[in-house]
Amino acid sequence: MKVQASRRRGAALVVSLITVMLVAGLGAALIQLQASLDKRHAFSIDRRRALYIAEAGLAEAALAISQGKSGTLASEDQPALYGGGLYWVESIDLPENKIALVCTARVGTAEFVLRTLVLPNLNPVSSLGFFGTQGVEIGWGTVADGYHSGRGTFTTQLDPSEPIDTTGELLLVGSNGDIELDEGVVGTRADKLEGDATEPDGGFSWSTVLEGDGREPDSGGEPGDIWGSPPGGSGEAPPLSAPPGHPTRLYGRLRPGVEGVVLSNGFSEIDGRIDAFRELPPLPAVTLPSCSETLLGTVTISGEVTNVGSEVDTRIEGDLALAAGATLTLVGPKVIDADRLVLAAGATLRLDDSSGPIQIYARAGIECAPGSIWESISAEPDARGVTVIVDQMAGNQERVALPDGGRFHGVLYAPSDAVMVPAGLRWFGSIACRHLSTEPGARITYDRRLGIGGDGVPTLPRILSWQIVPVGDGLARNLAVEPLLALSLRGVVPLSPTEAAPETHCEIQYVDVAGLASTYSGPFTGLDLTDVVRIVGVRWIDVRDGNLRGWLRPSGDDPTDAIETDRGALKKQRTTLTSLGGEPRAGLLSDALVVELIASVPLDKLAAEDAEVQEANERNSAQIDPDRYLDGADNVKWDELFDDVVERDAGVDDVAPVPIVPGG
Amino acid sequence: MRGNGRSSGFTLVEVVIASAIFVLLSINVWMVTKAGRSAAATGTFMMTLEDELHLTVDRISLALMAADSSAVDGPAMKPLSSESVSYQANLGLEDGQVVHGPLEEIQWIPVATEDGRIVWRERPSEVEEREMTWSNAVPQAYEDEVAGNGIDDNLNEIEDERGLAFTMEGARVDIHVTVERVDEHGRRRPLSRTTQITCRN
Per-residue pLDDT tens over the stretch A570-623: 666 666 665 554 444 444 456 666 666 666 666 666 555 555 455 555 554 344
Q: How far apart are the C-alpha atoms of A201 and A339, rounded to whole Å?
A: 50
Using CA atoms, how far residue A196 sits from A206, A209, A267, A341, A399, in Å, is 7, 11, 17, 47, 38
- The reported pLDDT for the residue numbered A40 is 81
Residues in chain A closer than 8 A to B71 (CB atoms) = none
Interface test with B, best of A19, A466, A478 (most B CBs within 10 A): A466
Which residue in A44, A117, A468 is closest to B92 by CB distance?
A: A117
Residues in chain A closer than 8 A to B98 (CB atoms) = 464-465
- The reported pLDDT for the residue numbered A399 is 92
Q: Where are the beta strands (DSSP E) in A311-399?
A: 313-317, 320-322, 327-331, 334-338, 341-343, 348-352, 358-362, 366-368, 373-376, 386-389
What is the average per-residue pLDDT within B118-129?
89
In a 3-state reduction of DSSP, which class is residue A340?
Answer: coil
Which residue in B58, B91, B200 is closest to A47 by CB distance?
A: B58
Query: Do the beta carbons of residue A206 and residue A162 sit within 8 Å?
Result: no
Which residue in A37, A47, A51 is closest to B48 by CB distance?
A: A37
- The reported pLDDT for the residue numbered A561 is 55
Nearest CA-CA distance, residue A475 and chain B, Å: 8
Collect the ranges in chain A with pLDDT lower than 70: 1-10, 183-245, 454-458, 473-474, 554-627, 633-634, 645-664
Which residue in A44, A48, A117 is closest to B93 by CB distance?
A: A117
Count the Cβ atoms, other than its own, within 10 Å of residue A151.
15
Q: What number of CA atoms fall less than 13 Å from residue A152's CA on the CB side?
A: 6
Q: How far apart are the C-alpha atoms of A206 and A38, rounded to whole Å?
A: 72
Which residue in A37, A51, A465 is closest to B92 by CB distance?
A: A465
Interface test with B, best of A44, A102, A251, A448 (most B CBs within 10 A): A44
Residues in chain A closer than 8 A to B90 (CB atoms) = 465-467
Query: Do the beta carbons of residue B60 and residue B175 sit within 8 Å?
Result: yes
Q: What ipTM did this prediction achieve?
A: 0.73
The contacts of residue A278 (CB under 8 Å, 6+ apart) are A258, B70
Nearest CA-CA distance, residue A48 and chain B, Å: 8
Cβ-defined contact of B70 to A466 (cutoff 8 Å): no
Nearest CA-CA distance, residue B148 and chain A, Å: 34
Tally: H helices and E strands in chain A: 8, 34
Which residue in B44, B58, B201 is closest to A34 by CB distance?
A: B44
Cβ-defined contact of B44 to A41 (cutoff 8 Å): no
Query: Do the beta carbons of residue A100 and residue A461 sit within 8 Å?
Result: no
Residues in chain A closer than 8 A to B201 (CB atoms) = 465-466
Polymer length in residues for chain B: 201
Cβ-defined contact of B92 to A41 (cutoff 8 Å): no
Cβ-defined contact of A466 to B55 (cutoff 8 Å): no
- The reported pLDDT for the residue numbered A585 is 44
Nearest CA-CA distance, residue B49 and chain A, Å: 11
Nearest CA-CA distance, residue A98 and chain B, Å: 10
Query: What does pTM read for this prediction?
Result: 0.68
The contacts of residue A22 (CB under 8 Å, 6+ apart) are none
| Nearest-by-CA chain A residue for B92 | A465
Cβ-defined contact of A468 to B58 (cutoff 8 Å): no
Cβ-defined contact of A41 to B47 (cutoff 8 Å): yes
Cβ-defined contact of A465 to B51 (cutoff 8 Å): no
Cβ-defined contact of A466 to B200 (cutoff 8 Å): yes
Residues in chain A closer than 8 A to B66 (CB atoms) = 466-468
Nearest CA-CA distance, residue A507 and chain B, Å: 31
Q: Which of A659, A647, A642 minimizes the C-alpha distance to A595?
A: A642
Cβ-defined contact of A278 to B70 (cutoff 8 Å): yes
Q: Which of A617, A640, A619, A620 minimizes the C-alpha distance to A628?
A: A640
Residues in chain A closer than 8 A to B54 (CB atoms) = 41, 44-45
Interface test with B, best of A465, A473, A475, A478 (most B CBs within 10 A): A465
Amino acid at A479: L
Residues in chain B closer than 8 A to A30 (CB atoms) = 40
Nearest CA-CA distance, residue B20 and chain A, Å: 23
Which residue in B55, B92, B96 is closest to A44 by CB distance?
A: B55
The contacts of residue A38 (CB under 8 Å, 6+ apart) are none
Q: How far apart are the C-alpha atoms of A51 and A234, rounded to whole Å?
A: 64
The contacts of residue B19 (CB under 8 Å, 6+ apart) are none
Nearest CA-CA distance, residue A33 and chain B, Å: 9
Tally: H helices and E strands in chain B: 1, 7
Reported as a single tens digit per residue, the pLDDT across A269-286 is: 888 888 888 788 888 888
Q: Which of A350-354, B67-71, B112-116 has the lowest mean pLDDT?
A: B112-116
Q: How confident is the model at residue B78 (pLDDT cuts 50, 70, 90)?
A: confident
Residues in chain A closer than 8 A to B42 (CB atoms) = none
Q: Which of A58, A110, A60 minimizes the C-alpha distance to A84?
A: A110
Q: How far apart are the C-alpha atoms of A68 and A90, rounded to whole Å?
A: 15
Q: Which residues of A touch B (CB under 8 A)?
A: 30, 33-34, 37, 40-41, 44-45, 47-48, 51, 96, 98, 115, 117, 170, 278, 463-468, 475
Q: Which residues of B touch A (CB under 8 A)?
A: 40, 44, 47-48, 50-51, 54-55, 58-59, 62, 65-66, 70, 89-93, 96, 98, 200-201
Q: How far apart are the C-alpha atoms of A312 and A556, rounded to whole Å?
A: 19
Helix axes A591-600, A638-649, angle to 10 degrees: 20
Which residue in B44, B58, B91 is closest to A467 by CB distance?
A: B91
Query: Do the beta carbons of residue A522 and residue A546 sit within 8 Å?
Result: no
Residues in chain B closer than 8 A to A467 (CB atoms) = 66, 89-92
Nearest CA-CA distance, residue A47 and chain B, Å: 9
Which residue in B44, B51, B92 is closest to A44 by CB distance?
A: B51
Nearest CA-CA distance, residue A315 and chain B, Å: 40
The contacts of residue A371 (CB under 8 Å, 6+ apart) are A345, A346, A404, A405
Cβ-defined contact of B54 to A44 (cutoff 8 Å): yes
Taking one residue from A and the other from B, the number of pairs with CB-CB distance under 8 angstroms is 53
| Nearest-by-CA chain B residue for A170 | B96
The contacts of residue A10 (CB under 8 Å, 6+ apart) are none
Which residue in A44, A170, A465 is closest to B93 by CB distance?
A: A465
Interface test with A, best of B48, B49, B52, B62 (most A CBs within 10 A): B62
Query: Do the beta carbons of residue B115 and residue B133 sit within 8 Å?
Result: no
Task: For chain A, report the end-to-end CA distance as a whole number of angstroms.
Answer: 114
Q: How far apart are the C-alpha atoms of A657 and A660, rounded to whole Å?
A: 9
